[in-house]
Amino acid sequence: MDNASLFQCLLRFGDNTLVLGHRISEWCGKAPALEEDIALANTALDLIGQTQMWLGYAAEVEGADRSADDLAMLRDVWDFRNILMVERPNIDFGHTIMRQFLFDAYHHAQLTALSRSSDPRIAEIAAKSVKEATYHLDRSAETVIALGDGTDVSHAKMQNALDLLWPYAGEMFESDDVDAQMAASGIAPDPATLRDAWDLRVRDTLSLATLNIPEDNFAHKGGRTGARHTEHLGHMLTQMQWLQRAYPGAVW
């Protein structure tokens, strides 16, 4: 296992939580109910906190005198390694909750496996983060069920969200040479091995939500390797990074 592969692996962990955390933060002050506003803000804070740990460790591994803040605020689109699903715009509350649930089911399985990592630092970060991910998953699953099995309008919105997001789910379980090295070293699981646990939780929840899982197995991909991103990520980064770009080196 070489440091370059470990660096890429850590970027994937940190970029997923960074991008999704920012997306969720966009609901602050705009959610349909006060309770949801607070819950989404807290979820975003949890994810950004995890990002600080993942990217902080990535910066140490890289050894290029960069910090977690540098990795978050001074990289361009093609340098990000997040899955495409998390960079999609919120669209509406149903889409946001469905995206959150599909990611949470994956994230919980991933962090559970990472808590047994042969890398003590990764195991420590995962053990702390999985507690937050457990709450995130429980809450997003309950909300998917409530909306899916709710009114005709909420059911239709959740089904539409599932139809739009399902083609992005498969990327979470794609594997490449970086994943093979991490798995061989016992540092991180092969993403493909997380699919069964994800399928079980997702199918059970969607069944209770009276939602139909799309039959198409097509999967968008390219975000984890930086080969391609949606047009939405660039627009998001202009908002997220503008202060650091406008005032280089600015600190609190």
What is the SS3 assignment for 196?
helix
Give the whole-number percent of the chain exceeding pLDDT 70: 100
1 pLDDT band, cuts 50/70/90, is low
* pLDDT of amino acid 250: 81
3 pLDDT band, cuts 50/70/90, is very high
150 pLDDT band, cuts 50/70/90, is very high
Round to whole Å and give the CA distance between 88 and 231.
Answer: 9
2 pLDDT band, cuts 50/70/90, is confident
Residue ranges and CATH numbers for the domains of the chain are 3-218+229-246 (1.20.1260.10)
Residue 93 has pLDDT above 80, yes or no: yes
**Nearest to 180, CA basis, from 193, 163, 169:** 193
Rg (CA), the chain: 18
Query: At a CB cut-off of 8 Å and minimum separation 6, what does 216 contact?
Result: 166, 167
* pLDDT of amino acid 249: 82
Contact indicator for 18, 75 with CB cutoff of 8 Å: no
Mean pLDDT of 25-29: 96
Residue 183 has pLDDT above 70, yes or no: yes
Mean pLDDT of 209-218: 95
Residue 28 has pLDDT above 90, yes or no: yes
208 pLDDT band, cuts 50/70/90, is very high
Round to whole Å and give the CA distance between 185 and 168.
Answer: 28
- Here the tokens at position 134 are 């457990």
Residue 108 has pLDDT above 70, yes or no: yes
Contact indicator for 107, 133 with CB cutoff of 8 Å: yes
Mean pLDDT of 9-24: 98
For 30-65, write each residue's pLDDT tens digit. 999 999 999 999 999 999 999 999 999 999 999 999
Round to whole Å and give the CA distance between 18 and 157.
Answer: 26
Residue 251 has pLDDT above 80, yes or no: no
